[in-house]
Structures are given as C-alpha cells and as structure tokens.
C-alpha cells in the first residue's frame, strides 16, 4: 500500500481524533448520537486512532467494519454533513496542508459512501418473503 502521507505521524492522528471528538461530544447535532452510542470513550478513541492509522499510514491495527456499526445508529444525512464540517476544521488545524487535504478527501468519500448506503432507498425494509395462497 502506497501511503501519500509523509508528514502525518501517529501523534498527529491521535491529536486529530482527540480534538475532533472533543468537539463532536459537545456539538448540538452530534453529541446526542455519540452520547447514546459510545459507552467507553477511551476504548472508542483507541479504535478510531487505529482506523485512521490504517488509512493514513498503512498500519494493520484496525480490522473492523465501520459501515455496519454506523448503519445501526439513528443517523440522518445532516449528521454526516456536520461530522465532515468539524472533521475538515480539525484536520486543517492539526495536519500539514497537503495531509489535511488527503485525510479530508478520505473522510468525504467515506461519508458519501455511508450516506449512499444508508439513505438511497428509504422505503426499503429488507427482502419480502412471499407466501403462496
């Protein structure tokens, strides 16, 4: 895996994650979702640092499936929009410009994919089982 991040370090990723979630936990739009979904913030932050470390530095510490977890939450498209707004702001503060652009592009792609999967078919409730009369 070729990693385009030459300056970003584990320390920078940790700062990005901690600063972002510090904001998200008090944000009027996001805080209620996180409050109900995250019981152990220390463990959650470690998982998220591992996720971004894998995505940005090519480490192999994260092995989860984030879409499945998010699909179970009571999310709306505006939650992803606000998440991206805060994430962009935090990345720009913490990372070098080029790395902030790259990580933001990845976050935007992830949010777009999640939104497409979660909100493209709002009336679909799974496969129907047909009974013959």
Q: How far apart are CA 97 and CA 89, in angstroms?
A: 12
| Domains, the chain | 10-118 (1.10.490.10)
Residue 7 CB neighbours (<10 A): 10
Q: Please report, rounded to a whole number, the percentage of residues in the chain having pLDDT higher than 70.
A: 85
Q: What is the pLDDT of residue 4?
A: 54
Q: How far apart are CA 79 and CA 65, in angstroms?
A: 19
Answer for the pair 99, 5: CB distance below 8 angstroms, yes or no. Answer: yes
Q: How far apart are CA 81 and CA 112, in angstroms?
A: 10
Residue 56 exposed, middle or buried by CB count within 10 Å (0-12, 13-18, 19+): buried
- Report residue 17's pLDDT band, with 50, 70 and 90 as the boundaries: very high
Which comes out higher in pLDDT, residue 132 or 39?
39
Answer for the pair 8, 98: CB distance below 8 angstroms, yes or no. Answer: no
Residue 132 has pLDDT above 60, yes or no: no
Residue 133 has pLDDT above 50, yes or no: no
Which comes out higher in pLDDT, residue 33 or 132?
33
Q: What is the pTM of this model?
A: 0.82
**Residue among 83, 89, 6 nearest 48 (CA):** 83
């Amino acid at each position: 895996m070729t990693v385009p991040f030459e300056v970003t370090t584990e320390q920078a990723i940790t700062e990005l994650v901690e600063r972002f979630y510090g904001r998200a936990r008090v944000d009027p739009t996001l805080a209620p979702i996180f409050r109900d979904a995250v019981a152990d913030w220390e463990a959650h932050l470690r998982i998220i640092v591992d996720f971004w470390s894998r995505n940005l530095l090519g480490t192999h510490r994260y092995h989860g499936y984030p879409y499945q977890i998010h699909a179970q939450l009571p999310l709306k498209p505006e939650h992803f929009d606000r998440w991206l707004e805060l994430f962009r702001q935090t990345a720009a503060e913490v990372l070098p410009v080029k790395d902030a652009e790259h990580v933001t592009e990845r976050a935007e792609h992830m949010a777009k994919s999640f939104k497409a999967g979660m909100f493209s078919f709002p009336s679909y409730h799974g496969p129907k089982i047909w009974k013959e009369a």
